[in-house]
Amino acid sequence: MNTFGQIFRLTTFGESHGVAIGGVIDGCPSGLELDVEKVQKDLDRRKPGQSHITTQRKEGDKVEFLSGIFEGKTTGTPIGFIIRNKDQHSRDYNNLREIFRPSHADYTYIKKYGRRDHRGGGRSSARETIARVAAGAVAKQLLQNIGVNIQAYVSQVGEVEVKKSYLELDLGLTESNIVRCPDLETAEKMIARIEEAGHNHDTVGGVITCVATGAPAGLGEPVFNKLHADLGHAMLGINAVKGFEYGSGFAGTRLSGSEHNDVFVKDGETIRTKTNHSGGVQGGISNGEDIYFRVAFKPIATLLKEQHTVDSSSHEVTINPKGRHDPCVLPRAVPIVEAMAALVLADHFLMNSISKL
Amino acid sequence: MNTFGQIFRLTTFGESHGVAIGGVIDGCPSGLELDVEKVQKDLDRRKPGQSHITTQRKEGDKVEFLSGIFEGKTTGTPIGFIIRNKDQHSRDYNNLREIFRPSHADYTYIKKYGRRDHRGGGRSSARETIARVAAGAVAKQLLQNIGVNIQAYVSQVGEVEVKKSYLELDLGLTESNIVRCPDLETAEKMIARIEEAGHNHDTVGGVITCVATGAPAGLGEPVFNKLHADLGHAMLGINAVKGFEYGSGFAGTRLSGSEHNDVFVKDGETIRTKTNHSGGVQGGISNGEDIYFRVAFKPIATLLKEQHTVDSSSHEVTINPKGRHDPCVLPRAVPIVEAMAALVLADHFLMNSISKL
Amino acid sequence: MNTFGQIFRLTTFGESHGVAIGGVIDGCPSGLELDVEKVQKDLDRRKPGQSHITTQRKEGDKVEFLSGIFEGKTTGTPIGFIIRNKDQHSRDYNNLREIFRPSHADYTYIKKYGRRDHRGGGRSSARETIARVAAGAVAKQLLQNIGVNIQAYVSQVGEVEVKKSYLELDLGLTESNIVRCPDLETAEKMIARIEEAGHNHDTVGGVITCVATGAPAGLGEPVFNKLHADLGHAMLGINAVKGFEYGSGFAGTRLSGSEHNDVFVKDGETIRTKTNHSGGVQGGISNGEDIYFRVAFKPIATLLKEQHTVDSSSHEVTINPKGRHDPCVLPRAVPIVEAMAALVLADHFLMNSISKL
Amino acid sequence: MNTFGQIFRLTTFGESHGVAIGGVIDGCPSGLELDVEKVQKDLDRRKPGQSHITTQRKEGDKVEFLSGIFEGKTTGTPIGFIIRNKDQHSRDYNNLREIFRPSHADYTYIKKYGRRDHRGGGRSSARETIARVAAGAVAKQLLQNIGVNIQAYVSQVGEVEVKKSYLELDLGLTESNIVRCPDLETAEKMIARIEEAGHNHDTVGGVITCVATGAPAGLGEPVFNKLHADLGHAMLGINAVKGFEYGSGFAGTRLSGSEHNDVFVKDGETIRTKTNHSGGVQGGISNGEDIYFRVAFKPIATLLKEQHTVDSSSHEVTINPKGRHDPCVLPRAVPIVEAMAALVLADHFLMNSISKL
């Protein structure tokens, strides 16, 4: 299904080599001053060809808003938008028409739908996330109105990882380098690691960490739409994601309860927690502390080297893709993670506003 | 929100010390022969007091079906059911009425709703999962009809972990011991670890691994209801869960693409993958291989020892809970993980049946 | 599907001769002081056996709330409730097991589900509306908090109809007579008409008019959840309903635009309309005027006289039902209409509160 | 809210004078051969300027499909489409910027959203229904695959009405005249009635009757998504609609049960009903007979004559609109009624296919 959210809802459409990718945001309250430049800026952060460690494909990826905005503000009616596809070398894909590429969605789409648009991965292409980034950029602006800020960064590439907690980093440095890692020394190693993968015609995975500051207490709708469950749902829906953890995550399973519990303390007039193993969410509801989580990305499946596989006639074949592909998805996935986090938080902010009389 | 699923939908209600916990299953097709004993059996696997490493509270937890079943088969109408609460020592909780227990939902429920049923955690109690286990047991029977089997087991308690893959284990041994670990040697160490936590009036976390075999290719609804995203959503909604990964998960982020890709091969008439780093899901759709994933549980927040915290008047206070509590939630959480997995798979099975003409 | 509403959601279950009828209200804000007596009062207005013109079946229809209420107020968690079925003469229905009664749901349930609980109509029985009345009575209390009052009455029975507009009636007289018509002279004729139908072992239909006063402007969610469209959806879902019109309705189709338009005028500080052909809804959104609509009920299909029909083996048979049945559903349907209207308005009130920043 | 349907879901966007109107169809199964010409044909039937009794505005209304179709067939992925707006005389509307036109949505949109795109009615314009007609034309093609045919016609204009049942008419004649009435004699009177309204600078309402033939038994999802309730919901959501009735409708309330009941009879191998007061729906589920219903349209609110009203500063003002407007919406609304009926039936067809094992 292609609709995300309960109140602030995004519906998307579009294939990699179709006419356009687009979406409809429904449930955005009226009166939000919308800065279209900021939306475009996030699209540019996701765009291919932005640095030498991403694919060199050129795509304009200019968003066109079609409705729901009047004289610079949202009107409460649905916000439709499209991004036209360009630079389509669709014929390049003819030889892949009947091939099931390893660890791609070619085989499963055929099993499910009986047919597929094979060009560039069709609907299963990560190009589809353009619509999410555009909508997320709208959600971000809604959240900024209430003081919520979302910042993601690359915290691991292959075995190269940032050893520090996000609290020890200056997240303002994230955009200062092409890999989007605020730990500058590690950033250089990551870039080298990605270059190495590229040279080997191979790919490499990694982890993105995301932090939301300023979220009020109260966001989350137990028992099935706990805040972290909806965040996890959003992140796992991003292409190539294999895992999600928040707060202490998998590492927290090794602590004892007395080490793990976040003790409440008074901080002037408000109540805070001394530690934040909870990742800002307790019982599925935000408690006012920073919300933070980690998202695992597998190495991209498209390799520019020979691989064995099977085609739709069950013949064993060998493929050797050429073309322009990312050796590592992480740098371009940072705005996608932020966008999905923004969609979840905006939705929960609206839902929470009707929790009590 | 308290409804889960798109077609096969579960709506639950009930507080820990209210009159009853219950639920409504809507969208279950008619004609399913329902074995109520099997439902009760799963409830018994979740029940407190089942062994010396779980809480010694006694709760009958007998399910009563109220509708939707006629002469032993489902009728296509909603299946209502309740489990009455018993053994309520509600007054035991009077002293906690105004206390915000560390890493519990007391504080966040007050921030969200302005009031709460404080007795035994109210709605935020893991007792709520009874309704999920009952409904999941119905979903399991639907899945068995089509050859899908779901089996979860405890794969880590604190630092004690099963080193083998699920493929090297005899999952049939899971129920042979009270910790529900099919690796019998490790099971003993886990039990000792839980006993130790209990003696220390402390608690311990861990990991549950879950495997679904026999699922057909085609389950999953991109782009926002990819199969693994819905599984993750379901797992993260379980009390105390902090993380989810499927297939290669976080470890897979350290592999290169050429190591990680699952090569397609012919296996007689069908197409299989040589390895299964994909965890049975590619592009968000099942590919016919085993679906497997891991769920991280934090150590339970209720400690039978002194802790500092704050009350609703922002006074700093000390609590020292008594009573009957689990030192480790893992053994009783196994049927909960299975139940939520079953709800997701049953829902996706029905959705997939209308994917093509 | 058995869930109604977007934010204030009701899920119901239960068959006529099953264990219980019940429901879950999800999305009711916390802090609503709930008067359970008032809920029971509406159930009593729907109850069989309340007068000589309704069926003489005796059913206790006592509601039991199971969750979501603590110390007299809602907590924001789901409100579960059940009404146990009593006085079940299930064996009375054995002879109808394979019969398709004319204009009942026997045939269509078999075609859809392949099986059915035939006892007393099973899920298709109007007894199912008990859950709606209970939930609607909760919604009514939410609405009373914001000054919205809902009042329905019987405005037509067979050819006997109230000639006056609701504005010329004292709706406070509705409950003063057993047919629930505030026009006392017409009420007597209606009662006589129902008695006549009963004597003839026949049944009679009619119309219920419903008025909601005090609703603020702004309720309604274009384009697919216009306020009147959701009201119509709610009313058409009630057993035996064949039509819905609001404001000028079908009669308005014969007016010219210049006769039909509701001219805006100033009324002190507020803006009002001179006439109200719009029925309080313009462009699908309430405008602050009275919301009123009419609901058509067919004559009940159960006749205590001989009828020809067909059974499940396609044999032509003759039935001659005995028992205790209503000759006219209208008087008991008044609280059902009010309940469904209350569910719609409460839902829209909550949705509207997040329409603008 | 701007999404319609449960499985076959349409989400729409767009304002009358915005960049484009469009929509996304999600849940359409793959493998449907889509004839885009047929979609355009229905848009042309809705288009302004098609005859002298409709508005003379010229709008191209060419649909552009953006996704979800590959090599002429649907792929199971969402089908995005847009229709660009043209011929916008937006400045013509400047004088209406602060005016609340009688019986329009100007006032209620301001009350709800605090702001609005006033040009040509913005989102509240019936121009929005273009997206519904396009999507409905896709649904129609799905339904034709299973033998379901939907045909609407104008059965009343002002006081001029077709006296015959649809069974006595040749519905194939509907498109033979500009008012879309298959009773040719009445059609002429209707045209004259509309011309008269136009000459008077006034407008006139009426009724559209719609018939669906070939629908299998089993469509409808009690208790809240009965087939006729969803049809009513769909129809009442169309601009200017004031009422809905199916089968015997309001007239049926005057019959006794013995007159109204539809007796089942054998018809060869199948079971049929002798009469069809049920309108093809019993207990909310289709029974295999013709589904028919009637939809009441009010006279359009835009009059080309002087009217008194109030502006946003609460000043009383006089308006005297000029321009090109329909004196009667009925002829152009025929494809809209068909489209919404098709969306409902396609959705229910898919839902019903998973009702039983």
| CATH code of the domain covering residue A348 | 3.60.150.10
Across B4-23, average pLDDT: 97
Predicted confidence at residue A244, as pLDDT, reads 98
* Residue in C30, C76, C357 closest to A145 by CB: C357
Residue D294 three-state SS: strand
Let me know if residue D357 belongs to a domain.
Answer: no
pLDDT category of residue C94 using cuts at 50, 70 and 90: confident
Which of A48-57, B262-271, C119-128 is the least confident region?
A48-57
CA C45 to chain centre: 12
pLDDT for C68 beyond 90? yes
Q: Confirm or reject contact between D113 and chain A (CB < 8 A).
A: yes
pLDDT tens digits, residue range D75-128? 999 999 999 998 666 666 788 899 999 999 999 999 999 999 999 899 999 999
The SS3 assignment for B195 reads helix
pLDDT given for residue C87 in this prediction: 60
Using CB atoms, which residue from B124, B247, B298 is nearest to A248?
B298
Burial class (CB in 10 A: 0-12, 13-18, 19+), C185: exposed
Q: Which two tokens stand for residue A26?
A: 């429904």
C284: contact with D, CB 8 A cutoff: yes
Instruction: Supply angle C-alpha C46, B75, B346, rounded to 5.
Output: 120
Residue C116 lies in a domain: yes
Instruction: Give the span between the Cα atoms of B231 and B236, in whole angstroms.
Output: 9
Res. B299 pLDDT band, cuts 50 70 90: very high
CA distance A203 to B96: 54
Residues belonging to the binding site of D are 46, 123-125, 239-240, 283, 298-302, 324
A125 is in an annotated binding site: yes
Tokens matching residue D265: 């009879």
Q: Cβ contact (<8 Å) for A350 and C354?
A: yes
Range of the domain at D305: 3-352
Residue linked to tokens 């709330």: C65
Q: Is C145 on the interface with A (CB under 8 A)?
A: yes
Secondary structure class of C201 (helix, strand, coil): coil
Question: Cβ B73–C3 below 8 Å, yes or no?
Answer: no
A268 is written with which tokens? 């002037």
pLDDT of residue B90 exceeding 70, the answer is no
Residue B159 has pLDDT above 90, yes or no: yes
pLDDT per residue, tens digit, chain A (357 aa), is: 999 999 999 999 999 999 999 999 999 999 999 999 999 999 999 998 888 888 777 768 999 999 999 999 999 999 999 999 986 666 667 888 999 999 999 999 999 999 999 998 999 999 999 999 999 999 999 999 999 999 999 999 999 999 999 999 999 999 999 999 999 999 999 999 999 999 999 999 999 999 999 999 999 999 999 999 999 999 999 999 999 999 999 999 999 999 999 999 999 889 999 999 999 999 999 999 999 999 999 999 999 889 999 999 989 999 988 777 889 999 999 999 999 999 999 999 999 999 999
C23 has which bridge partners? Answer: C12, C81
Residue entry with tokens 């052909």: C277
Contacting residues for B340 by C-beta, under 8 A, at least 6 apart: B132, B136, B234, B235, B237, B238
What's the pLDDT score for residue B111?
97
Q: Is the pLDDT of residue B96 over 90?
A: no
CB of A224 within 8 Å of a chain C CB? The answer is no
Residue C357 has pLDDT above 90, yes or no: yes
Contact C356 A76 (CB under 8 A): yes
Give phi and psi for B149, each to the nearest 5.
-125, 135
| pLDDT tens for each residue of D232-274 | 999 999 999 999 999 999 999 999 999 999 999 999 889 999 9
Q: Give mean pLDDT, residues C7-12.
A: 98
- List Cα–Cα distances, A117 to A90, A97, A120, B264, D30, in angstroms: 11, 9, 8, 20, 11
Between these two residues, D353 and D59, which has the higher pLDDT value? D353
Neighbouring chains to C with at least 3 Cβ pairs closer than 8 Å: A, B, D
Residue located via tokens 């006074």? B315
- Whether residue D308 contacts residue D318, with contact meaning beta carbons closer than 8 Å, is answered with yes
Identify which of D123, D229, D242 has the shortest CB distance to residue C246: D242
pLDDT computed for residue D89 by the predictor: 64
**Residues making up chain D, counted from first to last:** 357
| Residues in A touching C76 (Cβ below 8 Å) | 355-356
pLDDT of residue A323: 77
**Tell me, what's the pLDDT at A341?**
98
pLDDT the model gives residue B261? 96
Please give the pLDDT value at position D225: 98
Is A45 marked as binding a ligand?
A: no
* Predicted pLDDT of residue A93: 75
Res D209: pLDDT: 98
User: Which residues of chain D have a CB within 8 Å of the CB of A123?
Assistant: 67, 75, 77
Q: Is the pLDDT of residue B199 over 90?
A: yes
Q: Is B354 on the interface with D (CB under 8 A)?
A: yes
What is the token pair recorded at B180? 């529900």
Is D94 in a helix, a strand, or coil? helix
Q: Which of A29, A145, A356 sits opposite C354 (nearest CB)?
A: A29
Considering the domain boundaries, does residue B323 fall inside one?
Answer: yes
Kindly determine whether residue A205 and residue B264, on different chains, have CB atoms separated by under 8 Å.
Answer: no
Classify residue C320 as exposed, middle or buried by CB count within 10 Å of its CB (0-12, 13-18, 19+).
exposed
> Considering only CA atoms, which of A342, A329, A310, A269 is closest in space to residue A106?
A310
DSSP state of C300: P
In a domain, B164, yes or no: yes
Question: What local confidence, expressed as pLDDT, does residue D257 receive?
Answer: 97
Interface test with A, best of B98, B109, B111 (most A CBs within 10 A): B111
Averaged confidence pLDDT in chain B: 95
Give the number of beta-carbon pairs within 8 Å between B and D: 40
State residue A89's pLDDT score: 64
B74 — phi, psi (to 5°)?
A: -70, 150
In a domain, C101, yes or no: yes
| β-strand partners of B11 | B3, B24
Which residues neighbour C308 within 8 Å (Cβ) at sequence distance 6 or greater? C316, C317, C318, D263, D264, D265
Question: Which A residues, 26 through 45, put their C-beta within 8 Å of a C-beta on chain D?
Answer: 26-27, 30-31
Predicted confidence (pLDDT) at residue B5 exceeds the cutoff of 90 = yes
What contacts A94, CB < 8 A, 6 or more positions away? Answer: none
State the smallest CA–CA distance between residue D350 and chain B in angstroms: 7
Contact B111 A316 (CB under 8 A): no
Does the beta-carbon distance from D29 to B353 stay under 8 Å? no
**Domain membership flag for residue C357:** no
User: What's the pLDDT score for residue B89?
Assistant: 64
Q: Are C74 and C68 in contact (CB under 8 A)?
A: yes
Cα A304 to Cα A306: distance, rounded to the nearest angstrom: 7
Contact call for residues C337 and C210 (beta carbons, < 8 A): yes
pLDDT at residue C53 in the model:
83
pLDDT on residue C319: 92
Contacts of D260 in chain C (CB under 8 A): 103, 205, 298-299, 301
Model ipTM? 0.97
Give the minimum alpha-carbon distance from A71 to chain B in angstroms, rounded to a whole number: 32
User: Is residue D43 pLDDT above 90, yes or no?
Assistant: yes
Kindly give, in sequence order, each residue whose CB lies less than 8 Å from that of residue C126, ignoring residues fewer than 6 positions away. Answer: C239, C240, C329
CA D156 to CA D159: how far, in whole Å? 7
Give the C-alpha separation, C14 to C95, whole Å: 22
CB contact under 8 A, A103 and B159: no
pLDDT of residue D86: 83
- Whether B15 is in a domain gets the answer yes
pLDDT in tens, D121-165: 999 999 999 999 999 999 999 999 999 999 999 999 999 999 999
- What is the DSSP code (8-state) at residue B152? E
Task: Assess whether pLDDT exceeds 80 at residue B220.
Answer: yes
Q: How far is A32 from chain C (nearest CA, A)?
A: 7
B87 pLDDT tier (thresholds 50, 70, 90): low
Give residue B60's pLDDT band: very low, low, confident or very high (50, 70, 90). confident
Q: How many domains does chain A have?
A: 1
- Cβ-based burial of A163 (10 A; exposed 0-12, middle 13-18, buried ≥19): exposed
